[in-house]
Amino acid sequence: MVETIYVNTTKRTQFIDITTKVEEVVKKHNIDDGICVVYVPHTTAGVTINENADPSVPEDILKILNQIIPWQADYKHLEGNSPAHIKASLIGSSVTVIVENNRLVLGTWQAIFFCEFDGPRNRKVWVKCIKG
C-alpha cells in the first residue's frame, strides 16, 4: 500500500526533513525487514538523503544549485520554472532505504529531505514499504 505524506513548503527553494514522517509509515506497517521507497510525484521537486546534523549542509546544497542553475537565463519553457525542472532532474525523484527491526537504516548523520525547487506549494510524497 502506498502512503501519502503532505508537505507544505514556504520558500522558492527549500529542503525539508521528512525522516520522521517516513519512519511513521514504516512503523505503521510493521516492517521488520525490507525496503522503503520514497517517491516525489512532482516535476519541480525531488528527494535526497544527506546530512541533517549541520543545517548549513542543505543550505550549501541549495546555494550552489541556485548558482549553477540561475532563475534568469535563456530558457524556452513558457511556464517560467525551467530551473526548478532542471534541479529536480539532478536531485532525483526517489530514494530507497533499507528497513531493519521496524526502523530506517540511515547513517548517523543522514536524513531524508524533500527538496522544493518551485515553491511555495502544497506537495505530496508517496511512501511504499516492502517486506523482505
Residue type, position 105, single letter:
V
Q: What's the pLDDT tens digit per position in 23-73?
A: 999 999 999 999 999 999 999 999 999 999 999 999 999 999 999 999 999
Helices (H), 11-105: 19-28, 56-68, 82-91
Taking only Cα atoms into account, the Rg of the chain, rounded to an integer number of angstroms, comes to 15
The number of domains in the chain is 1
Q: Which domain holds residue 28?
A: 2-131
Instruction: List b or e across 15-34, with b for residues whose CB sees 16 or more CB atoms inside 10 angstroms.
Output: bbebbebbbebbeebebeeb
pLDDT of residue 132 exceeding 90, the answer is no
110: CATH: 2.60.120.460
Given this model, what pLDDT does residue 102 score?
Answer: 96
Q: What's the pLDDT tens digit per position in 64-123?
A: 999 999 999 999 998 989 999 999 999 999 999 999 999 999 999 999 999 999 999 999
Given this model, what pLDDT does residue 63 score?
Answer: 97
CA-CA distance, 123 to 107, in Å (whole number)? 26
Pairing of strands 110-116, 103-104: unpaired
Higher pLDDT, 78 or 11: 11
Residue type, position 14, single letter:
Q
